[in-house]
Amino acid sequence: MTDSKHSTRAFRRTKLASLVALALVHMGASAADSLPNAEGAASAVATVVVSAKAGAYRADESAKGSASSVAPTQASLQASEPQSIITREFIELSVAPTAEYSRVVNIAPSMSGDSANGPGLSETKTTMRGFGDDQYNVTFDGIPWGDTNNPAHHSTSFFPASVIGGAVVERGPGMASNFGYATFGGSINLYSKQASKTPSASVFGSVGTWGTALLGGAYESGRLRDYGNATVQLNYQHLKSDGYLTGNSIKSDNYFIKFQRAIGADTLATVVATDNEIKYVQPDNSKGPTLAQIAQFGRNYSLNDDPTSFNYTGYNHTSKHTDFSYLRLETSWGDGLNSDNQLYTYAYDNQTISSTDPTGATLPGTKAGAPGNKDIPGIDKQNKYRAYGDIFKLSKQFGNSTGRAGFWYEYSDTDRHQYDLDLTLNVRDPRETKPTPVTFPSVLFDQQSTIRNFQPFVEFEWAATDSLTVTPGVKAVRITRAVDADVNQTTRLPQHTSVDYHATLPFLTANQRLGADLALYAQYAKGFQIPDLKSFYIADPTRNSSDPQLSTNYQLGVVGKKDVLTWDVDAYRIDFTNKYVSNGLGGTAAAYVNIGGVTYKGVEGQLTWAVGNGVALYVNGSSNKATANDTGKTISGSPDMTAALGALYNAGPWSASLIYKRTGEVRQVDFDPAKPAAYDQYLTPAYGNTDLSVAYRFQHPGAGIKTLKLQFNVFNLFNGQQVVSISPGKTAAFDQYISQAPRSVQLSLKADF
């Protein structure tokens, strides 16, 4: 087997590198100590960020009490594609304190997805316009992150809601300067909190249903005048819960630091580092119980206390460790020339012990045990990777126009395996030191893989007139995937090969201002998705097509903003081509080829009306259609609509929100001419969630506390328990069902000092 100690050493090296980088920034910033106000360095490089305090995306849209300042989602007048901007204020008031990013962005049009174990208590796979989780990007402070086998995301594993300063959901590939392995469907862009100008500290905590408890603290240094106006932000959060699903407990700890300081008069340095540890008790197959299990044990059945069962809690453990850090240097060189460089690394380490079949379709008896045994079979699973990257952008002002060029480079190294286990004889917690790996045939796979990615771009934001901006651009995609496996996944044969993927992606956007409060935008853009690692699970991957999946996006929208009303409407059509599928052949003839595709089209809108006296009304909606080009039928996993309706209140010490989100019906399987009945049988109807939040702020209650906020949240207020997912089994009796988590409550307290 290939020695994976290099991955462990990489974790340690990166932690050390983060500390060294922080020290270098501290030392290098000494040149700024003599500046009377280093704030000018930050303002010299105008970076677009979501404000954690202003309540809006742009300073000119942040008037207190305006529709823009209270809108749960909105678009900017500078938008070049459909977008939904979500602020820190909305997160703090209306999103569960235990949540992660999927719950934050779920409010936006065309977004859907809910946690089966309760808000933030299990991973959530969201959809955007019917695009699955691995078909759009997720970024943090502009850096794309995700799995290395396919660009999917583990929503609970990196960034809890307490460290998210805001989010922008971009429903489209963006411009040429937008990076990621799946610009195919769009991007969820998360941002860290904006540093406060004044020092503060806070302690926060929550208790709630299912034994849920959260405790944390945050610190803002404010501007440190003796250190060049540097700022330091710290955040710690501990979460534990028994969860809604039986036996599915969770415990996590997140550590976060952000440091900013001017270097000289024209450079702003930012260092961010975060570390997350999370432990689940859950099956690796977490697709829900069967109908028979629901009838006997209830909708929330998952694990039990019976050692003779596949569903024994002692056989199903997951331990994850992740980290994410970057060093960013933003420099103004004068004469309209600016540079922005982000050097980053992130890692994901998943160690899982799990039984193989929680449905009961498989009888006891293991490969790893003695012949004829009735022991419980399981797997020892590892998914461990580290990515290193750099994003460099250079911009130059030409009057009112701006030219940009740069690149994204990333290298990732992955170590994955699965081994057969006899859980009855060999129960192991993944936190313990493992014995020598078992030998073939009990090795399902032992695989190392790498990705080397280089994407240069150029674009020009042309101010054609005082009111019209046109931005053409082009990006080249150059990716090499390589597999070095002694025992490869699926084939269980040695695999040592690589495949190159290339694409050239054009972009063209336009924004036409129609006065101070109205704008039109249009977009034509190509997106792409990196081929899945499963395309290497064949005898000869060099037979595969080297063309990645592509999307061609046509989008048109209008944005309006007034003090009392912010609104936008858009229409889109997306042609997905080069669908990557198996040719269905075996042996050396097996290959993945490009055929057919899907057409996505629909309309979306969002509106906030500031009624007055602290009251605002909110509505959004989408009508979405995603049909396979070969069958003309709606594809699986694509809701036919989404909608949200809400009311918000903020006056004096009181604030409150009541928001209803509805997700339309979803086909759970694709149409198969050989099984036409299944297409209608596996259909989940529309469902809704209503969330209520009420908060009261006490000013200067004593003990040095400036503000004490008491908040009460109810999630799924009307206790809907609709089936939201069906996963077909070997036969219908072993289909698995996931339902909405029922009503839950959380009581929270936050003290600001």
DSSP symbols for 116-128: TTSTTSS----EE
Instruction: Provide CB contacts within 8 A for 340, sequence distance 6+.
Output: 45, 47, 328, 329, 330, 331, 391, 392, 393, 394, 395, 406
Please write the tens of the pLDDT for every residue from 308-338: 999 999 999 999 999 999 999 999 999 999 9
Count of structural domains within the chain = 1
- Span 205-223, average pLDDT: 97
- State how far the Cα of 83 lies from the Cα of 81, in Å rounded to an integer: 6
Does the pLDDT at position 5 exceed 70? no
- Span 243-262, average pLDDT: 97
Q: Which of 731, 690, 737, 683 is nearest to 713 (CA)?
A: 690
- Span 634-656, average pLDDT: 96
pLDDT at 427 (0 to 100): 59
Say if CB 525 and CB 184 are below 8 A apart. no
Report residue 336 as tokens.
Answer: 């309209």
**Residue 283 Cα distances to 12, 99, 381, 521, 682, angstroms:** 29, 21, 12, 46, 23
**Residue 509 Cα distances to 175, 461, 468, 557, 630, angstroms:** 7, 9, 11, 11, 30
Q: How would DSSP label each residue in 239-282?
A: EEE--SSTT--EEEEEEEEEEEEEETTTEEEEEEEEEEEEEEE-
pLDDT at 21 (0 to 100): 41
Does the pLDDT at position 370 exceed 90? no
The DSSP call for residue 131 is B
Least confident stretch, 219-233, 485-499, 574-588: 574-588
Q: Which of 58, 175, 191, 50 is nearest to 561 (CA)?
A: 58
Say if CB 18 and CB 211 are below 8 A apart. no
- State how far the Cα of 485 lies from the Cα of 541, in Å rounded to an integer: 13
Query: What is residue 14's three-state secondary structure?
Result: helix
- H-helix or E-strand containing 659? strand 654-663
Please write the tens of the pLDDT for every residue from 505-558: 999 999 999 999 999 999 999 999 998 999 899 888 888 887 888 999 999 999
- Span 274-289, average pLDDT: 95
pLDDT at 387 (0 to 100): 98
- Please state whether beta strands 187-191 and 137-140 pair in parallel, antiparallel, or not at all (unpaired): parallel
Q: Find the length of the chain.
A: 753
- State how far the Cα of 541 lies from the Cα of 297, in Å rounded to an integer: 45
- State how far the Cα of 635 lies from the Cα of 228, in Å rounded to an integer: 56
Q: What proportion of the chain, given as a percentage, has pLDDT over 70? A: 89
AA identity, residue 483: V
- Span 460-477, average pLDDT: 97
The DSSP call for residue 361 is -
**pTM (predicted TM-score):** 0.91
- Span 658-679, average pLDDT: 94
- State how far the Cα of 702 lies from the Cα of 690, in Å rounded to an integer: 35
Does the pLDDT at position 425 exceed 60? yes
Report residue 588 as tokens.
Answer: 């050396």
Does the pLDDT at position 30 exceed 70? no
- Give residue 701's domain range: 5-752
- State how far the Cα of 344 lies from the Cα of 143, in Å rounded to an integer: 8
Q: Which of 195, 193, 111, 185 is nearest to 155 (CA)?
A: 111
Please write the tens of the pLDDT for every residue from 31-89: 333 323 334 333 333 333 333 333 334 344 446 778 999 999 999 999 999 999 999 99
- Please state whether beta strands 495-513 and 615-628 pair in parallel, antiparallel, or not at all (unpaired): unpaired
Please write the tens of the pLDDT for every residue from 522-533: 999 999 999 899
Does the pLDDT at position 435 exceed 80? no
- State how far the Cα of 479 lies from the Cα of 495, in Å rounded to an integer: 19
pLDDT at 22 (0 to 100): 39
Please write the tens of the pLDDT for every residue from 145-158: 999 999 999 999 99
Q: Which of 605, 643, 695, 746 is nearest to 90 (CA)?
A: 695
Domain at 217, CATH number: 2.40.170.20
pLDDT at 590 (0 to 100): 85
Say if CB 461 and CB 471 are below 8 A apart. yes
Please write the tens of the pLDDT for every residue from 124-148: 989 999 999 999 999 999 999 999 9
Does the pLDDT at position 436 exceed 70? no
- State how far the Cα of 497 lies from the Cα of 533, in Å rounded to an integer: 12
- H-helix or E-strand containing 477? strand 468-487
Least confident stretch, 267-271, 395-399, 499-503: 499-503
Report residue 292 as tokens.
Answer: 């028979």
- Span 718-738, average pLDDT: 95
Higher pLDDT, 19 or 717: 717
Say if CB 67 and CB 122 are below 8 A apart. no
Q: What proportion of the chain, given as a percentage, has pLDDT over 90? A: 78
pLDDT at 581 (0 to 100): 77
Residue 361 backbone dihedrals phi, psi, to 5 degrees = -70, -25
pLDDT, averaged across the chain: 89
How crowded is residue 587: how many other Cβ atoms within 10 Å of its Cβ? 9
